[in-house]
Structures are given as C-alpha cells and as structure tokens.
Amino acid sequence: MNPIYHQAKFINSSPHLKNTPADEGLEIAFAGRSNAGKSSAINTLTRQNSLARISKTPGRTQMLNFFEINERLRFVDLPGYGYAKVPLDVKQEWHKLMETYLLNRKSLCAIILVMDIRHPLTEFDWQMVEWCQHSALPLHILLTKADKLTYGAGKNTLLQVQRELKGFNMPMSIQLFSSLKKIGVDEVHQALDKLFTTAPQLEMAEGDVGQDG
C-alpha cells in the first residue's frame, strides 16, 4: 500500500476543459459506465469516505472532477456513461466532454477502466479499450463489486475478460476489486505506482510516488 494516495484532495469540477487545473504533471483518469463503482473505488483507494461523490442515482458524475495527490500527480473522475436516466442531449454532452478531454489533455498518462464484474465489457468499455490502444495509453481494469460473486466465479470472470482482451497490443492489466470488502486495494496502489512512474510524458522525480515504508 502506498500512503501517498491517502492525501488526495478535491481541487476542481468543470463541465469543460477551460476551467480545469493546468495541463502539467501527470493525471490518471477513472472511466466507467454509470453505477460501475468509479467514485466508490476512488474513495476506497484514498481511504476517504466522501472524497468522490457517490449517488444512488446513476449518472450523477456529470463533470470532470480533479483530485490532487501532490503538486505533480492527479486523479480525474470522468462522467459516467450508460443507462443513466437523463435526456439524450445531456448524454451527448457528457460524451463530447470526455472525448475532448481524452484527445486534448497532455498530462493524461493512463486510464483506470472500472467495470461491474457482473456486467463486464459493455459497449462503452470496448470503446475505451479501443481508444487506449489507438492512443497507446496504458490501461488498468478494475472488475468492481467482486464481493457480489463467489471467489471462484470472480476468478472465472477475470480469466474470461483477459481472454477477450488478449488481442489488444498495449500495456494492460486487470484485477478484481471490491470497495465494500476492500479487495484488491494493495494491487491497485501498485498499478498506480507503475502507471505514474513509467509515464512517458516526463521524468518523474523519485519521490513523487515514493512510499513511506
């Protein structure tokens, strides 16, 4: 576990790129279908119950939400996409916002793609995987809500998703995760360490993701 992620703090919410933090340093963006568990995952890996807003109504994350880890590292919570009961034009605005961010944000160094383990590889998930391959952007997949399945069923789903993604040629990793049972927290911390320290955008100082012990 890396305690650096526990110091994350909310710094900005924006419906467009104009009012976002300076495009420097490194950002890892969390993407996923509405109600897949993005906000819960961010709260769990930072050990903060209310850092990212959680709602029982899918689709409440309508803006780009930025969280500062230190002066050079950030998380970004992207708008959830999927079955949220909102007008089509609103969904299209979310999609446009995400597309603009993904195409233009120079500090973006990796994607954490959050999938509900009971409904993996939705159409949106495939779009994100393909976009990451096209952009040569590292991808780490969290199969969330792993506590909803038995250990064996969860492992089988993990292997099935790995098989379906086998043909993609890019840095990719995948794991089981549960915010409720705190399954996979150490593993996601290790993945974040690797994604930040191997980012091609700039040479990271050794202490940026250094662990306290």
The architecture (CATH level 2) of 3-197 comes to 3-Layer(aba) Sandwich (3.40)
The count of other CB atoms within 10 Å of the CB of residue 62 is 16
The predicted-structure confidence for 81-104, as pLDDT tens digits, reads as follows 765 566 777 767 777 888 889 999
More confident residue, 87 or 54: 87
Domain ranges of the chain: 3-197
The predicted-structure confidence for 38-47, as pLDDT tens digits, reads as follows 999 999 999 9
The two tokens of residue 120 are 């993996």
Q: For the purposes of burial, counting CB atoms within 10 Å of the CB of 88, is it exposed (0-12), middle (13-18) or buried (19 or more)?
A: exposed
**C-alpha to C-alpha distance for 200 and 137, rounded to whole angstroms:** 10
Q: For the purposes of burial, counting CB atoms within 10 Å of the CB of 1, is it exposed (0-12), middle (13-18) or buried (19 or more)?
A: middle
pTM greater than 0.75: yes
Q: Where are the alpha helices (DSSP H) in 47-150?
A: 88-104, 123-135
The predicted-structure confidence for 156-192, as pLDDT tens digits, reads as follows 999 999 999 999 989 999 999 999 999 999 999 999 9
